Amino acid sequence: MSAYRSLFFCFATLISLALGLGAEPTPAKRGAAREIRATPDEPGITFNSVHVDSPYIAMTFDDGPSAVLTPKLLDLLAAHHIKATFFVIGENVAEHPEIVSRAAREGHEIGNHSWSHPNLGKMSDESVRRQLRQTDDAIKSATGNRPTLMRPPYGSITAREKRWIHDEFGYDIILWDVDPYDWKRPGPAVVRARILKETRPGSIVLSHDIHPGTIEAMPSTFDELEAKGFKFVTVSELIRMAAARPSHPSPQPSESVSPNAAGFAFPTPSPTSSQAR
């Protein structure tokens, strides 16, 4: 009886994991609740990861810029020759436009993460529009360019919102497939271990450049990802790689997996799913 019961609980846990009951953080200072994972099924609009046939990944950093931590991270990224993507909060951009300007100048991508980090899935269209427009304007003013990506705070956004936001702003909606839960501040070693365990070719890795432990985790995380053969690109570059992929199936359709020199396996590209899951 107790064996059946523990089997049931294991199963229930697996189901809740599969449903993605974790998610992006609630910045503590904003006092929001836990994250709600959006349903990522709008082809060509929403991306959790990208189907690529080489070991490219995108590191993403949310909720900044932070006056102290973001410049530190930019130094680390420069030392590693890594391009990353920053999903910035508009009111932080207004406070530190020079940091966002530096990030863009150094080749990083800047995406819209709303003005004040509200739950967009529960707001009126007009309020959502204002959140995104103000942030779009702040990014344009800091960097000279408008963003082409947005990430909803907590991953919370409705299917209808995705559609009109995409139509009106031209944004791709970017979620993630690797979440180290760094916002719970588990310590640098745990952040690093989680990222290394979950990252695959085409992964979009979520982290936050407002937590000291996250920044502390990055040098060794970058080293170890590099040692595994991963290469780093911005989210838009990663998406373009999927789009550029030939539409015909792999020449060796019988091999579902082919190990590469770096020691990990890439799934054979599927001709039907060029974009997000």
* Cα–Cα dist 143/105, whole Å: 8
Q: Which stretch binds Zn ion (CB under 5 A): 76-84, 127-135, 151-159, 228-236?
A: 151-159
Compute the least distance from the CB of residue 95 to Zn ion, in Å: 16
Known catalytic residue at 125: no
Assess 62 for contact with Zn ion (CB under 5 A). Answer: yes
Burial of residue 18 (number of CB atoms within 10 Å: 0-12, 13-18, 19+)? exposed
**Which CB sits closer to Zn ion, 210 or 242?**
210
Please, what sign has the CA dihedral across residues 217, 223, 227, 232? positive
Find the helix or strand (DSSP H, E) in which 95 lies: helix 90-95
Q: Which is nearer to Zn ion, 63 or 161 (CB)?
A: 63
Q: Check binding of 136 to Zn ion (CB under 5 A).
A: no
| Least distance between Zn ion and beta carbon 209 (Å) | 11
| Catalytic hit among 53, 208, 209, 211 | 208
**Is residue 111 part of the contact set for Zn ion (CB under 5 A)?**
no
**Which part of the chain contacts Zn ion (CB under 5 A), choosing from 61-69, 102-110, 164-172, 195-203?**
61-69
Q: Which is nearer to Zn ion, 82 or 89 (CB)?
A: 89
| Cβ distance to Zn ion smaller for residue 127 or 256 | 127
* Distance (Å, whole) CA 110 – CA 124: 25
User: Does the footprint of Zn ion cover residue 209 (CB under 5 A)?
Assistant: no
Strands in the chain per DSSP E: 46-47, 56-62, 85-88, 109-112, 149-150, 172-174, 204-208, 231-232, 257-259, 265-267
Q: How far is CA 245 from CA 48, 232, 269, in A?
A: 18, 18, 9
* 267: three-class secondary structure by DSSP: strand
Q: Measured from the CB of residue 147, what is the shortest distance to Zn ion in angstroms?
A: 15
Is residue 153 a contact point for Zn ion (CB under 5 A)? yes
Interface with Zn ion: number of residues (CB under 5 A) = 3
Q: Which stretch binds Zn ion (CB under 5 A): 10-18, 54-62, 162-170, 220-228?
A: 54-62
- Is residue 208 flagged as an active site residue? yes
Choose between 86 and 230: whose C-beta lies nearer to Zn ion. Answer: 86
Which residue of the chain is nearest Zn ion when measured via CB?
Answer: 62
Residue 94's SS3 state is helix
Tell me how far, at minimum, the Cβ of 229 lies from Zn ion, in Å.
29
Q: Which of 63, 136, 161, 172 binds Zn ion (CB under 5 A)?
A: 63
CA distance 147 to 139: 7
Q: Which region holds residue 115: left if phi is over 0, alpha if psi is between -120 and 50, else beta?
A: alpha
Does position 201 interact with Zn ion (CB under 5 A)? The reply is no
Among 51, 53, 62, 117, the one annotated catalytic: 62
Which of 79, 82, 52, 56 lies closest to 230, judged by CA?
56
State which residue, 131 or 274, has the beta carbon closest to Zn ion. Answer: 131
Catalytic residue IDs: 62, 208
Q: For binding to Zn ion (CB under 5 A), which residues are involved? A: 62-63, 153
